[in-house]
Amino acid sequence: MSTIAFIGLGNMGSPMAQNLLAAGFNVQVFDVDESATAQLVPFGAIAAGSLQEVVKGAETVITMLPAGKHVRSVYLGDLHGRVGLINLVEDKTFMIDSSTVDPDSARLVANEAANKGLEFVDAPVSGGVAGAQAATLTFIVGGTDAAFLRAKQVLSHLGRNVFHAGHAGDGQMAKICNNLMLGILMSGTCEALNLGIEHGLDPKVLSDIMLQSSGRNWALELYNPCPGVMPNAPASHHYSPGFMSKLMLKDLGLGVETALQTQTPVPMGTLARNLYAFHNANGNEALDFSSMFEFYQRQSKSSQ
């Protein structure tokens, strides 16, 4: 089985690397947090102490990084003299970035990789930590047709769905559109549930009614934001993420930024971003994004 270098072992990256190990790949891992790297050694991963070390002998590189600046630095190098992956990997190494970043960063890396004769795809994911753990993620790939087919051979071990969104950067754009809608959807679901509760309705009964009515949506089906309604949802576990509120704010910000580039109206997305910014500023950024329900609860109590 081929060797994969996996860089970025946070809440998403670590279970993804474990699933690659379970699928029989040789996996070399690196993270700036050495403890995150060490935690995967008992599962069979080979720990590396640097980017140069982790890509040695790897046929495929997968990165899962926090933001565009990290992707640009890791792939292209930085002003501090650190050399980027495109100058470290061996010839014909295939590179997959599963971070969620701005499309321009993905396009920049793809162009620079192509100039070096290397293939790169942006392949952001949907499905959260639970999806990463269960290998049920959805991957949204931007790149050439040939690169997509090559990426699918690896990503199919990590998820149920692998879509080809289009050219380089298009995977990121599709992911941004999805999470813009998700942020709006979650905010609206929290708002509606809170309104019903304030008027004496049982949240479980109200959720069941909406699930069988025109208000039915993903949050009600799989991720109910009201504590106690859905036992396995983060809301019933003190909003342990899941998908952190600060990451939702980041993605909503990307949606607003890309909208500005084309003067596309996104009033609902802008409002959702502002709500998450206020929610996070009150110490909730590390909670699951469904904790927006508590924002509405606090607002109701403060007005009484």
What domains are defined for the chain? 3-168 (3.40.50.720), 173-302 (1.10.1040.10)
pLDDT of residue 166: 98
Q: What is the pTM of this model?
A: 0.93
Report residue 61 CA to chain centroid gap.
17
Q: How do residues 59-116 score in pLDDT, each as one tens digit?
A: 999 999 999 999 999 999 986 678 999 999 999 999 999 999 999 999 999 999 999 9
Kindly report, residue by residue over 232-246, the tens digit of the pLDDT.
999 999 999 889 999
pLDDT at 121 over 80: yes
Separation between Cα atoms, residue 125 and residue 104, nearest integer Å: 18
Rounded average pLDDT over 24-37: 96
pLDDT recorded at residue 300: 83
**Structure confidence at residue 79 (pLDDT):** 66
Residues with catalytic annotation?
A: 175
Average pLDDT over residues 160-166: 98
Taken in order 99, 269, 290, 244, the sign of the CA dihedral is positive
Mean of the pLDDT values across residues 155-163? Answer: 97
Dist CA 133 CA 16 (whole Å): 7
Rounded Cα gap, residues 279 and 289, in angstroms: 10
- At residue 45 the predicted structure's pLDDT band, cuts being 50, 70 and 90, is very high
Q: What is the mean pLDDT of the chain?
A: 96
Q: How many CA atoms lie within 13 A of 192 on its CB side?
A: 20
- Kindly give the pairing relationship between strand 137-142 and strand 26-30: unpaired
For Cα atoms 67, 69, 73, give the angle at the middle one, nearest 5 degrees. 120
Q: Give the pLDDT of residue 304.
A: 66
Q: Is the pLDDT assigned to residue 303 strictly greater than 80?
A: no
pLDDT in tens, 205-231: 999 999 999 999 999 999 999 999 999
Distance of CA 120 to the CA centre of its chain: 18
Concatenated DSSP letters for 104-136? Answer: HHHHHHHHHHHHTT-EEEE--EESHHHHHHHT-
Q: What is the distance between the alpha carbons of residues 39 and 36, in angstroms, rounded to a whole number?
A: 5
pLDDT of residue 154: 97
Are 223 and 230 in contact, with CB atoms under 8 Å apart? yes
